[in-house]
Homo-oligomer: A and B are copies of this chain.
């Protein structure tokens, strides 16, 4: 039985454990939150800081293979483990490149991977030199996560609220669609791509409404997006799972927005809708097993189950019955003890043969399921 370790004990780690059960693994998890979603199901659950060298190094020494479900981990410790012969996938240098958005953008530039134009900013004062670059997003190099560390700068008046830290300015692009591709690669060099998915935005609120798989784009666009994703994987020379978020611009170009070297929110639906789930695929990749069939078995949507606004405290789920009463609806709860507004508490995957059928089910489910505090 192989001993594997996961840095991070959130929902991604939880679904990784779920898939890992079939591979006869002894799974250890490290997370700073004593009530993290992985707590109840990991064989060994250790509470500790993911950014602390000693904690990560010592944790890594207890396992044969180490992977991540979050990028903000101590890469120095992973590099030392890697140098000492431990299998660490994704490789530490890949995590180092990706966890700093400045290095990530420079990587695209160096390797001629199409991506929105950018300039590096060392401090707030430098923003004034780039008034001609607006409108743009200012993104912190490090520690941005889930929308934090990113802000839109429209005019020079916005500079006074700019981040005063190493960051980058990224030119706004005129987006037709936001799409995403997940690629897996094993140690032997085998590579498999999941079909392109699409983030569908709510027409009124300009917020992601649901994820649609496969994306409603032309076969040429899909092929181009998949090829680009594979190119990024190969140029990173990475083993594991890589999610590539892309912009399909109104001019018809495909640009890399950003990447994540781990299971991704845009791959949750693969558990029910594809030949192999992204979680099983990650195990196959890092254990150097043949990669699984990624083909879509059905049209699918994924809706995040978020904490309701105005509710903070012990999580309680309303509308579970109505949700599961919808044919082809599958609820995945993450086992988080506490809810707070917009916290990701679970997701629902919805299968249907037609887009219209899917949309009707999505409407029904979004009106049903609610996470409140009690």
Contact of A290 among B18, B41, B325 (CB under 8 A): B325
Q: Contacts A43-B40, A43-B41, A297-B297 given: A320-B18 contact, CB under 8 Å?
A: no
On chain B, the residues within 8 Å of A337 by CB distance are 1
The residue in A27, A317, A324 that gathers the most chain B C-beta atoms within 10 A of its C-beta is A324
6 A-B residue contacts at CB 8 Å? Answer: A14-B21, A22-B333, A24-B333, A41-B43, A284-B324, A297-B298
Q: Contacts A21-B41, A41-B41 given: A293-B328 contact, CB under 8 Å?
A: yes
Contact of A18 among B18, B27, B317 (CB under 8 A): B18
On chain B, the residues within 8 Å of A27 by CB distance are 40
On chain B, the residues within 8 Å of A41 by CB distance are 17, 21, 41, 43
Q: A289 at interface (Cβ–Cβ under 8 A)?
A: yes
A288 closest partner in B (C-beta): B321
B327 near A293 (CB under 8 angstroms)? yes
A21 closest partner in B (C-beta): B18
Contact of A21 among B17, B280, B330 (CB under 8 A): B17
Q: A135 at interface (Cβ–Cβ under 8 A)?
A: no
On chain B, the residues within 8 Å of A26 by CB distance are 40
Q: A358 at interface (Cβ–Cβ under 8 A)?
A: no
A272 closest partner in B (C-beta): B275
On chain B, the residues within 8 Å of A290 by CB distance are 321, 324-325
Q: A332 at interface (Cβ–Cβ under 8 A)?
A: yes
Query: A317 vs B330: C-alpha distance in the bound complex, in angstroms?
Result: 33
On chain B, the residues within 8 Å of A293 by CB distance are 327-328
On chain B, the residues within 8 Å of A297 by CB distance are 297-298
Contact of A289 among B15, B18, B324 (CB under 8 A): B324
